[in-house]
Amino acid sequence: MAKRLNPKSRREGLYLDTAQWEEAVQDLLRLQPQNVSKLIKDEAKLLVRDCIKLTPPTTGGKGVMSESLKRQEQAGQEAILGDLKKVIKDVTELKIYKNPKVKKWIDRAFKNHDWQLVLDIVGGGEGAGMQVPDNFHEKYRNKNGRVRSGGRFFIKDTKAKSKLMSYASKVFKRIGKAKAGWIPAARKLKLAKRHWIKYIARHAGKGNVVMSLNKTPNPFVFVANLEAHAQKHNKSGKIMAVALKIRTDVIRDKVKKLMELQAKAFNNKKDFHYNPLKDQR
């Protein structure tokens, strides 16, 4: 068993089990000796870069690591609109609105601000109005931050102005908040700003980073994202666990290539010639 670089890393909860990553690092150091502190700092920087990319919003597809942060912002907007439409309903899109008589009653109810009549016509709901109340959808969000189906609030949009989009535009400003939890570590590790662009950097970012690299026999970097909804709640799907596996696989690939190069170099050596005077055993 390789000597642990981080003996505490087996603890559940705050700490992640880094055993496989550490063993891969030890293998790399045996084949390619280098400054351990610099290696760990560089790996921590790349880990944070990958965590930013993996943290919602994403498209949710297999190519998350290759998609741009801008595309992820668009995916966040699409997800928000989809969620909001579960609890905010435009009466003009209801089937009953196609009935001329019902349309007349609904239009009159909205004109008179008779919200109870609107609810009576559509069959109930949480409310109706000219504008969606601020933060209306918040109480319908689950532990992952997504909106579940629940109470409905009815609006009446026009071609000139969408009340749903007016409400959604306010929610769009929150996009990137979960990703921003990695910013404290990104700044400390000097990660290039192209990896935490404007819509992420506009948030302060609740996170933490602890580093001990130069004055310890076991250098380490601890990073944490403390923003709500930043992590998936199933153990196997946590952002850092996925990112750490990516880094481990990258190091193992380096080790494999180094071993192949060494084997090739060994096989290309000139034939060994025994000299009885120089090669005494």
Domain ranges across the chain: 9-57+177-259, 69-172
Helix (H, G, I), strand (E, B) or coil at 2: coil
Give the CA-trace dihedral at 152, 153, 156, 158, to 10 degrees.
-90
Write b or e for each residue in 49-59: b if 16 or more Cβ atoms lie within 10 A of its Cβ, otherwise e.
bbbbbbbbbbe
pTM, to two decimals: 0.81
Query: What are the pLDDT digits (tens) for 183-194?
Result: 999 999 999 999
| Cβ contacts of 3 within 8 Å, gap of 6 or more | 26
Instruction: List b or e across 163-188, with b for residues whose CB sees 16 or more CB atoms inside 10 angstroms.
Output: bbeebbeebbeebbbbbbbbbbbbbb
Residues of the chain with pLDDT under 50: 1-5, 9-14, 233-236, 274, 279-281
Q: How far apart are CA 225 and CA 208, in angstroms?
A: 7
pLDDT in tens, 47-95: 999 999 999 999 887 789 999 999 999 999 999 999 999 999 999 999 9
Q: Contact, 37 vs 213, CB < 8 A? A: yes
